[in-house]
Amino acid sequence: MNEKLIFTNLVGDAVDTLVAEAGAPRTFVLVDVNTAQYVLPVLTAQSKAVADATVITVKSGDINKNLDSLQTIWRSLHDAGATRSDIIICVGGGVVTDIGGFAAVTFKRGMRVINVPTTLLGAVDASVGGKTGINFNGCKNELGAFSEPLAAVISTGFFNTLPQQELLSGYAEMLKHALLESPEELAALMRYSVVYPIFDADRLLDLLRRSVATKQRIVEADFADRGTRRALNLGHTVGHAFEALAMKRHSPIPHGYAVAWGCVVALILSHLRLGFPSDTLHTFASYVHTNYGAFAFTCDDYPELIEYMRQDKKNDSPDRIAFTLLSAVGQPQINTVVEKSDIESAFDIYRDMTHS
Residue 172 in the binding site for a second copy (CB under 8 A): no
Please say which residue, 85 or 356, places its beta carbon nearer to a second copy.
85
As a dihedral over the C-alpha atoms of residue 301, residue 337, residue 260, residue 274, rounded to 10 degrees, the angle is: 120
Residue in 21, 68, 80, 108 binding a second copy, rule: CB under 8 A: 108
CA pair distance 233, 230, nearest whole angstrom: 5
CA gap 333, 335 in Å, rounded = 7
The CA-to-CA distance between both ends of the chain, in Å, stands at 44
Instruction: Report the residue from 93, 129, 144, 235 that binds a second copy according to the rule CB under 8 A.
Output: 144
CB 133, min distance to a second copy, A: 6
Minimum separation from the CB atom of position 68 to a second copy (A):
12
How crowded is residue 239: how many other Cβ atoms within 10 Å of its Cβ?
27
Decide if residue 143 touches a second copy (CB under 8 A). Answer: yes
6: which strand partners?
153
Work out whether 320 is an interface residue with a second copy (CB under 8 A): no
Site for a second copy, residues 245 to 274, rule: CB under 8 A = none
Three-state secondary-structure class, residue 98:
helix
| From candidates 68, 142, 220, 339, binder to a second copy by CB under 8 A | 142
Q: Is 141 in the site for a second copy (CB under 8 A)?
A: yes
101 binds a second copy (CB under 8 A): no
Q: Does 327 bind a second copy (CB under 8 A)?
A: no
Residues 66-85 that bind a second copy (CB under 8 A): 67, 71, 74-75, 78, 83-85
Which one, 42 or 143, has the nearer CB to a second copy?
A: 143
Residues pairing with 285 in the sheet: none
Identify the CA nearest to 323 among candidates 268, 281, 283. 268
| Contact range with a second copy by CB under 8 A, out of 46-54, 98-106, 268-276, 290-298 | 98-106
Euclidean distance between CA atoms 64 and 252, whole angstroms: 16
CA distances from 166 to 17, 175, 195, 254, 274 (A): 30, 14, 10, 8, 32
Asked if 137 is part of the footprint of a second copy (rule: CB under 8 A), the reply reads yes
- With binding defined as CB under 8 A, does residue 2 bind a second copy? no
Strands 112-117 and 151-154, sheet pairing? parallel
| 319 scored as a contact of a second copy (CB under 8 A) | no
Q: Measured from the CB of residue 82, what is the shortest distance to a second copy in angstroms?
A: 10
Q: Which of residues 197-256 bind a second copy (CB under 8 A)?
A: 224-225
Tell me: does residue 139 bind a second copy (CB under 8 A): yes
Q: Which of 27, 36, 107, 125 binds a second copy (CB under 8 A)?
A: 107
Candidates 117, 100, 22; CA nearest to 57 is 100
Antiparallel, parallel or unpaired: β 4-7 and 112-117: unpaired
Q: How far is CA 141 from the centre of its chain?
A: 12
Nearer to a second copy, 106 or 291 (CB): 106
For a second copy, the binding residue among 87, 99, 105, 265 (CB under 8 A) is 105
Q: Which residues contact 8 (CB under 8 A, 6 or more apart)?
A: 14, 153, 154, 155
Could you give the dihedral angle defined by the CA atoms of residues 130, 119, 260 and 60, in that order, rounded to the nearest 10 degrees? -80
Q: Which residues bind a second copy (CB under 8 A)?
A: 25, 67, 71, 74-75, 78, 83-85, 102, 105-110, 131-133, 136-137, 139, 141-147, 224-225, 313, 316-317
